Chains A and B, each alone.
Chain A
Amino acid sequence: MSSTTTQSTYQPKTNVGKITNYVDSRVGGSGIVKEFGRKIFPDHWTFMFGEVALYSFVILLLSGTFLTFFFDPSMAETHYEGSYIPLRGVEMSEAYATALNISFDVRGGLFMRQVHHWSALLFVAAVSVHMLRVFFTGAFRRPRELNWVVGCVLLILAMAAGFTGYSLPDDLLSGNGLRIIDGVIKAVPVVGTYISFFLFGGEFPGTVVIPRLYVLHILLIPAIILLMIVIHLFMVVTHKHTQFPGPGRTNDNVVGFPVGPVYAAKAGGFFFIVFGIIAAISAAFTINPIWNYGPYDPSPVSAGTQPDWYIGWVDGALRLMPGWIAGIPLEWNIPMPWGVNTLSLNVLLPALVPAGIVFTLMFAWPWIESWLTKDKREHHLLDRPRNAPFRTAVGVSGVVFYCVMWAAASSDLIATHFFVSLNDVTYWLRVLFFVGPIIGFMVAQRIALALQRKDREIALHGRETGRIVRLPHGEFIEVHEPLDEYKRYNLVNYESHSVLPAEADVNGHVTRTEKARGRLSRFFFEDRVAPVTPAELEAAHSHGHHDAIAEQHDKAAVSK
C-alpha cells in the first residue's frame, strides 16, 4: 500500500516534524492543508459583517460559560445579603440575587455580564447587517438560496437566544417583558391559555419559567445555532465565496487572497479586534444595570423602558395597533355552541402579521426573484445595489417597514424628547406604517436609476476634471478625462433585467400566474438603465472629439 511506503520512506528530522508527521499519518492532515492552506477568499469590507456575527457568537459562548458558573436560575425566594446596600434584606428570587452577586461580588463579573449583553446586541445586529448585505448584493441567488434560508433561521434563533437571555435575571424589566409575552400568548385562539399555563407551570409568573428559559438559553438554542453555523460555513466552502464584479473577476473564478497567510491573518486578527471593541464598549457604557430596577414585582413598572433593540419592532407593532377602528372594537366575542370565545385581534394582528410578512418574504425572496426574472443561472458575481434597482427598492421598502415599527417601540421617548404629543407620534407612525414602505420603494428605485445614469455618463464621457478650456473659435468646454479600462469595466460590467412579458407555456396557454408575473415584471423593470456597450462608447468618442482635442491641448499645456 502506498501509505505504508510513505510512512517507511519519509523520516522527519525535527521534533515538530515528528509530531506533525505522527498526527498527519493518522488523520490525513496533509490533504486538509492542501485543500485549504492556499484557498482563495475574495476581499471586501462588506464581507466582514458575517465575521462579526461569528466572532460575537464565540464571545457569547465564552462569556456565557463564565456566567453559568455563578448564576442560579432558580425562582425560589431568598433575602439578598450581598454587597449592594440599597437592596440588602429585600426579598427576591435566587436568579436575581445571583445576578446581583455576579455584578457586585465576583471580580470581573460585571464586566463579563456587560460583555455578554453587548455581544448579544452586536450578534443580532451583525446577523441583520450581514443579511442586508447578502440581500442588496444578490448573493442569495443560485446556488446559495438554501444558505440564505439557513441565515434566516439563524436570525430567528439569534432573536430567540436574546429574548430567553433577557428574561433570566428576573428583574423588574425582564419580568414585565415576560408578562407581555404571556399576554400575547393568551391571545392565541384555542390553545393560547393552555400554552401560557404550560410555559409558566400554572399562572403567571409561577416558579418554573426561568429555569425552563435557562435550559433553552444555554443548551438548546445555542446548540441549534452552532449546528446552523456549521451548515452555513460548510455551504460557504462548497459554493466558494461570492465576489464583487470587476476587472479580472468572472463568474468562473475567485479572486482574492490565499487563506495562508494573508486571509487567515486578517480574519484571525479581526476576531481580536471584535473582542477588543466589545470589551471597550463594555468598559465604558453600562447596559442593563439590573440593580436599578429591583426584583420582579407585578405591580410597579417604570415609564420609558425599552426592550433590547431586536425585539423593538414587534413591541412597536403592538403599540401601533389601535384597539378600536372607527368605533369598531378589534376584540370580538364569538358565540359558539359551547359558549362564547374571545378573539383578540388587537393583539394577534400586530404580533403575527408584520412579522409574518417580513419573514415570509425574506425566506421566499430567492425564489420570488428567480420566478420574476426567469433567471435560474448560477451567480457568483454580486450586484452593486444600484445595478439591481428593483431589488434595492424592495429591500429599502422592507427596511422602512421594519424601522417604522422599531421607531414605534420608542414612541413615548420620541414624544418626551421632542416635546410632541404621544398620540400624534403614534398617529404619524400609523400612517408611515402603510405609506413609508411605498415612499421608500419609489425613492430607492429612483436613486438607484439615477446612480446608474451617472455611471453611464462617466463611462461614456469620462470624469469631469473641472478644467475649463477655451477653444480657438471661442467655445468654452470642460475637459472630460476618459477612464482607464479597469475603472470603466467596473461601470459597464453588469446585467440589467428588462421586462419579460407573459409567455405561453408548452400548451400555448398563458396561465394566470404567468400573466401576473408579466405585470410584475413590467412594474419592476419598465424603467431600466442598460449597461454601456462598446459601440456606444465608440459613438460617444466620435461625437465628443472636441473633448479629445481639448484634452490633447490640455495635456500639452500641462507637460509644456
Chain B
Amino acid sequence: MADHSHGSPESTGVVARPGQGDVQKFQNPGLPPHRPRLADRDPRAEKRAERQVAILFLVSIIGTVLFFVGYFLIPLDETIETLRLQNLTLGLGTAFAMLGIGVGIVHWAKTLMPDHEVSEDRHEIRTEADRADAEKIINDIVEETGIKRRPLIRNTLLGAMLLAPLPAVFIFRDLGPLPGDALRHTYWDAGTRLARDPSGTPIKASDVTIGSAFHVIPEGLSDSEHYLEEKAKAVVLLMRLNPDSLNPSPGREDWGYQGIVAYSKICTHVGCPVALYEQQTHHLLCPCHQSTFDLTQECKVIFGPATRPLPQLPIAVDDEGYLIATSDFQEPVGPSFWERG
C-alpha cells in the first residue's frame, strides 16, 4: 500500500476539530480508563509512600543543619581549600534542603494525591457579544472626545506628541565626549622609549636577542592621567628576527633596527590583544578570533576575520642604546571605525 496517499480535504472551520464527526477519521475513544496506583489499592504501599515523603522532608531538615555546620564551623583562613570546602558544604546543605522539600512534595502529589485526569471545556477567547459591546463603548468614547470633529485639536496634539520625546533623546548627549581625533593618536611620540609591560623599565636593543619577543608599553605611561585608556591603544609587541626574513616595503626600511620590529598589539578586527607569537613561523595569532598576521610580510593578515595588517611602530635606538619610537603610529590602531578612512 502506498504511503503517499492523499488524505481528506482540509476542513475550513475556524476551530480545528480533528476526529469530530468526520467519517474519514477515527472517533475519539475518550479518556482511557483510570489505572489505580499501588498506593490506591494496597494500604501498605500507601503507608510506605507516606513514610518516603516524610523521610524526604527529614533530608531537607538535615540539609539545613548541614548549611549551618558549614557556615559556623568552617572558618575561612585565607586558603582556597577552606573556601572550597565551605562552598561545598553550604551548597550541598542548600541542595539537600531544597531537593528534600521539592522531591517530597512531588512524590506526595504523585503517589498519594488523586491522579484522576479531569476534562474542562475551553471557552471562546472573545465572544461576539463582548466584541460588539466593546466596539460601541470605544465609539462612544471617541465620539464624546469629539476628536474627529475637531481636526485643529487633533493635529496640534499630534504635533506636540511627536516633538515632546525629542528632549528625552537629546538629554543623553552628555553620556560621553565626541570622538574628535582621539582614536588617531596614542601615547607614543618621537623619542618615547620602549618599556617592558607591566614593569615600565626601558628596553635596550642589546637585550633583544633573535627569536625573543617583548610585551611593550611606552615609558612613562603609568604617569598618564588616563592610564587604561592610553594603554588600550599603546600596547606593542616587540620581536627580533633575522633581518633577512623581514621584507620592508619602500619607505619603511628604517622602521626597524637590526631585525627588531614593533607592531601594535591591538587586533585590527575587534580589538583583542594579539598576544600569541609563534617564534618558528613568525606568525602573530589573536586568541579571540584567530586572526593570524605574518611578521615577515609586515603583519599582513594570512588567516582569520581581520582585514588590515597590524600597524607598525617606527623605532630606532637612542644614544644610550635604548629603543625609542621615532614617531607615533602612522595610522589609527585597533578596530576600524566609520571615520577612519
Contact = CB atoms under 8 A, between A and B. Distances in A.
Interface of A: 39-40, 83-85, 103-105, 107-108, 110-111, 114, 143, 176, 179-180, 182-184, 186-194, 196-206, 208, 238-240, 245, 247-258, 261-262, 265-266, 268-277, 279-280, 282-284, 296-305, 315, 318-324, 329-331, 333, 339-344, 346-347, 350, 375-381, 411-412, 422-423, 426, 453, 456, 460, 485-486, 488-489, 492-498, 527-536, 540
A107 B10 CA distance: 64
Contacts of A191: 338
Interface of B: 1, 3-8, 10, 13-20, 23-26, 28-32, 71, 76, 78, 80, 83, 86-92, 94-106, 108-110, 113-115, 117-122, 125, 172, 175-179, 182-183, 197-198, 215, 217, 226, 228-229, 231-233, 235, 265-267, 269-273, 275-276, 287-291, 301, 303-308, 334-341
Contacts of A411: 290
A534 B271 contact: no
Contacts of A498: 6-7, 10
Given A300-B273, A426-B290, A534-B23, A183 B335 contact: yes
Contacts of A381: 16, 18
B29 to A, nearest CB: 5
A456 B3 contact: yes
B125 A346 contact: no
Chain B: interface secondary structure?
A: loop
Contact of A301 (B83, B217, B275): B275
A249 B338 CA distance: 59
Given A197-B177, A299-B273, 17 more contacts: A84-B78, A111-B90, A206-B176, A250-B28, A265-B106, A273-B98, A273-B106, A276-B94, A277-B95, A300-B273, A319-B305, A323-B269, A342-B338, A377-B13, A453-B3, A528-B4, A529-B4
Given A251-B15, A530-B7, A298 B231 contact: yes
Given A183-B335, A192-B338, A489-B29, A275 B229 contact: no
A423 to B, nearest CB: 6
Given A262-B113, A319-B290, A331-B336, A299 B217 contact: yes
A498 to B, nearest CB: 6
B289 A318 contact: yes
Most buried by A among B90, B97, B197, B229: B90
Given A114-B91, A381-B18, A299 B30 contact: no
28 contacts: A83-B76, A104-B78, A180-B270, A187-B336, A193-B183, A193-B338, A196-B337, A200-B176, A201-B177, A203-B182, A251-B122, A252-B121, A255-B118, A262-B109, A265-B109, A276-B98, A283-B87, A298-B232, A298-B266, A299-B265, A319-B290, A347-B336, A411-B290, A423-B303, A489-B19, A493-B25, A534-B23, A534-B25
Contact of A183 (B31, B86, B88, B271): B271
A276 B109 contact: no
B18 A493 contact: yes
B106 A266 contact: yes
A283 B76 contact: no
A186 B175 contact: no
B25 A323 contact: no
A496 B7 contact: yes
Most buried by B among A249, A301, A460: A301
B109 A197 contact: no
A447 B318 CA distance: 73
A203 to B, nearest CB: 4
A301 B18 contact: no
Contacts of B229: 202-206
A294 B322 CA distance: 31
A269 B98 CA distance: 9
A206 B290 CA distance: 26
Nearest to B340: A342
Nearest to B23: A534
Contacts of A344: 307, 335-337
Given A107-B71, A530-B5, A495 B18 contact: yes
Contacts of A305: 287-288
A331 B341 CA distance: 11
A198 to B, nearest CB: 4
B99 A248 contact: no
A55 to B, nearest CB: 10
B118 to A, nearest CB: 6
A339 B341 CA distance: 7
A137 to B, nearest CB: 14
Nearest to B265: A299
